[in-house]
Structure 1
């Protein structure tokens, strides 16, 4: 999708640019949309119960997804309508009809990425600088949020902002857990179908 004039004010936002590049049929989890909008899951739930945007897709009784196409169109309209001056912001603050009581929808309070790519973040960021991630798998291995937009993400995979320092710690913890799991599986494979000796020579 080619960015329209309504998104021109956000052409320097890597997250929104990544959304622009996705296929319209791509489905995002609630956690991904929460990070993108800097809103809470409860706010999205309340919006759904009211029949208010952003548009969503109900898959079964409990699974909710957000199709990129309708979400992108709504974002474009939202950005185009976003208040720019303090007086406009105060006027919009009481406008519940749009449901805009959250970040980018309220005058650009959304977190600003410290650089335009994850690679530059790793190379140039300070310890406290933050980048968005998806915590993938049972041990929460952090994956660049923008790259993860092209992956299959489940409701169990959290979407979070991590500082460079926290990212390094999370990677280390995840790798330790994964290494321990591989070790356990290796031991189980070695002794699969065998009798395991005990200390006194008896067999298990």
Structure 2
């Protein structure tokens, strides 16, 4: 049952890209599933061709429903391995967790205020480094 608008935490409304990160699929997979009437439930903000958002609790419920009787723990295992449980994040995952755009993550890495590691072509930001970076941001003064 959909929640009332007043009870929705806006941080729980995920873009297709963020939902794909959470489910560990490509954004194109979610787009294809939408066009075929399959996949997790989504919210269209306006008419045809407008923005689409996924409600995080709906995604988690949908993922649990995908488990079969033979493999009951697959959905729970995937959810336990979500980006919030990892030791290191891609720049996209770090941006999603920090609630900022990825360009700010790359600017922070370039300036040296957010350390990042490289493994081949992959860029990894450690959990503690992301947390330290967020804690080092200036506190906004009360107005």
TM-score range, shorter chain: 0.3 to 0.5
Q: TM-score, normalised by structure 2?
A: 0.48
User: Taking CA–CA contacts closer than 8 Å with sequence separation of 6 or more, which of the two structures ends up with the larger relative contact order?
Assistant: 1
Larger radius of gyration: 1
Q: TM-score, normalised by structure 1?
A: 0.36
